[in-house]
Structures are given as structure tokens and as C-alpha cells.
Structure 1
Amino acid sequence: MRSETSTTWANPDGTMTTEEHTAPIRFKDAKGAWKSIDLTLAEGTDGTVAPRGHGLGLQLGRRNSVAGGVFASAAAGTGRQVEWMAPWKLPQPSLDGTKATYAEVQPGVDLRLDARRSGFESDFVVKQRPADGVAPVWRIPLRTKGLTARQNADGAIEFVDAKNVVRSRIPVGQMWDAVTDEHTNLPVNTAAVAMSIEQVSPGKATLVIAPDAKWLLDPARAFPVTVDPTYANTPLYSTFDAFVQSGWPNDLSSTVDLRAGKNGTTTERSFLNFAGASFQGKDITAANLSLYQYGATTCTATQLDLHAALPASTETR
């Protein structure tokens, strides 16, 4: 048995084994057949860049497109679409796995797009300190179908349908400089990015991304600086993992890592949400959790405390 997030095998002894993921691993194509998600980017004959397998039909900008062309487009359900328009001409992209880099879209600024299962991440990489001493502000035209853009109270941008249901969003962005932790390789200096939305006409809006000038132009800032807004079609990240961090009030569920323990003076905890419907009323005889670890502030063996909330009427043996 297969679903978007799981694969189940029947065992010879009458039990079943389910491999459940926190994010989709497959999707159904137009003919209703299951296809594996493959975020590896490839360039088509028309110059458009797209993942080899993506449930949202994600497409990235084509080479040498003129200003005003689409540089990222993804569906948010049937009849709903969000397109990010390029205010500059796009050069030939450099592809590396899930990432496409468009060099020098502005003097000293690269645009790097990273395919995600739920959408895409867009990084504006400011390669050196602005010579004019002015922090950049990006105004990105958005074109929507079946959706209207609005700003949430926490600063995130939401896309709602005719019934005011949130279908996709741009969480509050982050930015960081080139200083990284020697143990985890994670950014040391981070800050939130101010975003706003300007309505132009039905189906058209402008996303304004305004990095904090004081933070960006601080003499201690180490370049390049990366400014990171992310688009996701999962408004609440209901099937995705997340971590929380003391002293940071914003949504961190769009990040690509999990953190646990002490990170300097902050405390971090991670939450993983697995679909549990298939386990309802079942006897679970054994369970294993697999994680990739790529960084830690210490190599000393540390106990990891796991707390599981199982569906009602489920027994663990």
C-alpha cells in the first residue's frame, strides 16, 4: 500500500511494516499514477528549469528571459497558482542538484532558487558590502490565479482563496552573513527580514523584501549575506517537522534542519509530525526513528529524550 508519505508491506507472519515519512515522497500525476518526487533540477529544451518530479508542477525561470518574465511558479491546488515575476533579465542558470543560481541579476547580487517538496526557497546572495552604503530592497511582482495575497499579523504573507482559506504562504524570512559555527556549520549571525505586500489589481501584487539596513551595513558584517524568503503551499506545515528556539518568536517550520539541545544561550526543541491514520486501532510491536545528523557542538554521547503522542486506541508493545 502506498500514499503520499508512506509505504506499507505485508509480512509473511501476518504483520505489516510501514515506512512513514514526515514529508511527501510521491505524488499522483494527471493520469492518477504514483510518481516519486525527485527535486533534482533539469533544464528543458525551452530553457525552463524544473525538478524531474514535483507534485506542484514547480518551474523556475528560463535562460535569457526578459525582465518581467516568470522566475518561479508553483500550484497551490487545482486552479490555483502563484507566479513570481523577475524585475530583471535572467542569465543562464547554473544547476547543482536542487539549486539553480542566476548570477548577477543585479550588480553584486546572485539569485539562488532551491526546489522544495512544498514549493521553493529563494535566496538573494549579496556578495559584497554595497558600495553606495544603501541596503538593497527587492520589489517582486506576483501574479496569482484563484488566490489573493495578504499579510498576516506575524509578518508572513498568505495566499487565500475565494472562501478566505489559506492555501500557501511566505513565512517571515531570515538573513545571515558568512560567519558559521565551527561545529555545526550553521549561521551565527541571523536576523528577521521585513516583508510587505502591495496590492496592484485583482490577481496582481508586489512583494517588498526589505532587509534591515542597520544589520546589513554593520561594519562587523561578513559578506556574502544571504536573504531568504521561502514559498510553500502547505500553510500550516501540517505534515512537516519543525523546531522551536527560545528568544525567536517567528515560525521556523520552513527551515530545512532540526535542532535539539543548547545552542549557545538558546534552547532548541524539535517536533516531528507523522500521519497516524494508518496506525489507528493497531498494535505497534516495534518502532524505529531514523534521522541524519550532520553537526553538533560536542561529540560527547548525549541522551536524546523522545516523547511520542500516538493516535487514540493505539497500543504500543
Structure 2
Amino acid sequence: MSEEDKALQDAQSSGQPVELLSARTEASDTWALPDGSFSVKRHGTAVRLWRDGAWVAADPTLQFTADGSVVPKASSVAVKFSGGGSGAMLSGVKDGRTLSLAWPKTLPKPTLSSNIATYSEILPGVDLQLKAEVEGFSQLLVVKTAAAAQNPELAKLQFAMSTVGLKVAEDVDTGTLVATDPAGQTVFTSPAPLMWDSSTLAGQLPAPAMQKFAAAASEPAPGDAFEPGVGAEDAQMDTSVSSDTLTITPDQALLTGAETTYPVFIDPSWAWGEWQHWTRVYKAYPKNSYWDAKGDVRVGYEEETGGSDRISRSFF
């Protein structure tokens, strides 16, 4: 009896779905059903990884290694973050190809919380956060005060960049950065970098709408600082890349504006260029690319933030 027939037989006799283990992949499960059919469940990202002859649960939780660096427990991309000091701030390795970025100054030892490493005060009033994903990594600068935002070192952010077996180029039409191997295959991508402040909807809406929003906001929300909050003011940032430097130019009007609410978050992120892809599009930024963007799927009109341009779509 084949494994498929055995799974169908067990499903029919038990009245419960039975997984066909030989068909399991990093991002899909196949199940025999009691009615004699099969069902395939596909996940948006890897939920398990094949390690040393067995499946292990994907887990981007960060931990220190013996050499002091910081790595996730189980991820598709071999991500390593700095444990403090000089050298690479972060590096990602996939299929023998490496992308590394370095902050121009010495980093303090980070504090770890789940899959986020926080490097405090890399500039006065500015923290750096590095986030591990199962299939990528993100970096976030947190500008905590208006005084911190005036630092001339925030006029342009320059990261030393090194690669092994990769070429990084910018799509000038969308702001997307793409790291490709010698065969032209995409290994890593970075959507157009975005920055946002901590504005909320308080005082922006009529009383009935504000009451509705306040009731919804009282419930715990998923996510973290790596995604703009409802009501946040945001702006795309200019990006340029050379053979050894990645330069990001924050929007000064948002960074230092009189109406800006702090902290301000400055976010470029990277993802592994897998065969599955998705993107968000915003009417507010019709020429921006958010290919393989991190964060929530968004569909429809964001009533709370107002404005006819607050329409989002997501494509897979």
C-alpha cells in the first residue's frame, strides 16, 4: 500500500485529516481527508526547516553565540548580527552568497528581546534595532527626540557594504535594491526605504470616529515598531548604492518638522529573493516599490487616517 493510500485509509477510518509527511515542505502541508480527497495548506513563509535530517520549527528568536555575535535559532537565511564593537553590523548568507552592512561607528553590546536586537545610543538620542525574520532581516533607526533629530549625522546615513558572489543595484524607478548572483538570479531584495513618526489619530477625527478608533486601539495590536502605526506621518527616502556604500537620505521635513511626533523610525529592510513573492501598493506613493515588504498585508481604504490617497492593495 502506498503512503498516499495509507493516509487516505487512516483519514477515512478516523474521520480526521491525516498529514502526508513525505509531501511536507518548508512552507506547505498536504493532508488526506476523510472524504477521499487531499488538501494542501500553503504558508506565506517557511514554518519549518530541514536541519540534520529532520524538520525543526522555524524560529527567528535571537541568541548570543560563543564568539559574542547574535544569530536566530532557526531561519532560512544565515543571519548574523553584531555582538558589539567594530566590524559588520549585520550579514546574511544564502546559497553561499553574502551581503554585509556596517555602521560607521563602534556599536555597543545589544540587548535581545525575541527576534530584535537593540543597540542603544549609537548617536545621542538614537537607537539602532536589528530584527531577524525567518527569510530576511531588517534594520531600524529610532530617533527618540527633536534634539536628536537635529544631529547632522542624520542628514545622510551611510552604511559600508560588502558582498560575496553578489552585485547590488538600485531600480531608479522604484527605489528597490536588488542583490543578484552572477547568473542574474535575485538573492536579496530591499523595498524602497520608508520613515515615519509616532503621530496617532488623537484629535484628528470627529468625536464619533474617535470613539470608534479608541475602542479598537484599546485592544492589543500585533506587530512592533518596524511597521507604521495608524495615523503616522510617513515619507519615502532616497537611496543610492555604490560598490561599497549604501546611502539613505532621510526626509528632513518629516525628521525635523514642527508637527513631527517622536520617536521617528527610519526603516530599510531586506528579504531573501525566494520563488514566492508579495508586495503592497499604496495610492499615496504610486511609484514606490514594496516588493517582499515586511509587515502587515493591507487591503482597502484606511478610514481612520483619512484622505483619498489612503488606499492599499496587496498582491501575492
SS at match of 1:223: coil
Query: Letter of the aligned partner of 2:183 in structure 1?
Result: K
**Post-superposition shift, 1:53?**
0.5
* Residue pairs, 1:286-305, within 5 angstroms: none
Q: 1:194 to 1:188 in 2, by over 3 A?
A: same
> In structure 1, what is the equivalent of residue 176 of structure 2?
156
Q: Deviations over 1:129-151 (max 9, x none)?
A: 24656443211011100011222
Greater per-residue helix proportion: 2
Matched, 1:242 2:279: yes
> In structure 2, what is the equivalent of residue 114 of structure 1?
131
Structure 1 stretch 120-129 or stretch 175-184: which is displaced more? Answer: 175-184
CA contact (8 A) 2:48 2:58 kept: yes
User: In structure 2, what is the Cα distance between the partners aligned to 1:240 and 1:40?
Assistant: 23
Q: Deviations over 1:172-220 (max 9, x none)?
A: 1000011134646435200001111122xxxxx1111110223322111
**Post-superposition shift, 1:238?**
4.9
Q: 1:227 to 1:49 in 2, by over 3 A?
A: same
User: In structure 2, what is the Cα distance between the partners aligned to 1:152 and 1:241?
Assistant: 17
Matched, 1:20 2:42: yes
> In structure 2, what is the equivalent of residue 100 of structure 1?
117
> In structure 2, what is the equivalent of residue 72 of structure 1?
90
**Post-superposition shift, 1:12?**
4.6
**Post-superposition shift, 1:121?**
1.0
User: In structure 1, what is the Cα distance between the partners aligned to 2:137 and 2:231?
Assistant: 20
- Name the Cα RMSD after superposition: 2.1
User: In structure 2, what is the Cα distance between the partners aligned to 1:241 and 1:35?
Assistant: 25
SS at match of 2:142: strand
CA contact (8 A) 2:103 2:158 kept: no
CA contact (8 A) 1:242 1:255 kept: no
> In structure 2, what is the equivalent of residue 53 of structure 1?
74
| Residue ranges of structure 2 left out of the alignment (5+ in a row) | 1-22, 203-212, 218-228
**Post-superposition shift, 1:163?**
2.7
**Post-superposition shift, 1:152?**
1.4
User: In structure 2, what is the Cα distance between the partners aligned to 1:87 and 1:16?
Assistant: 54
Q: 1:7 to 1:55 in 2, by over 3 A?
A: same
Query: Letter of the aligned partner of 1:72 in structure 2?
Result: L
Structure 1 stretch 20-29 or stretch 181-190: which is displaced more? Answer: 181-190
SS at match of 1:91: coil
Matched, 1:136 2:174: no
> In structure 2, what is the equivalent of residue 11 of structure 1?
33
Matched, 1:170 2:190: yes
> In structure 1, what is the equivalent of residue 299 of structure 2?
260
Q: 1:187 to 1:24 in 2, by over 3 A?
A: farther
**Post-superposition shift, 1:240?**
4.2
Structure 1 stretch 48-57 or stretch 165-174: which is displaced more? Answer: 165-174
> In structure 2, what is the equivalent of residue 126 of structure 1?
143
Query: Letter of the aligned partner of 2:237 in structure 1?
Result: V
Q: 1:158 to 1:220 in 2, by over 3 A?
A: same
Query: Letter of the aligned partner of 2:90 in structure 1?
Result: A
* Alignment TM-score, normalising by the size of structure 1: 0.75
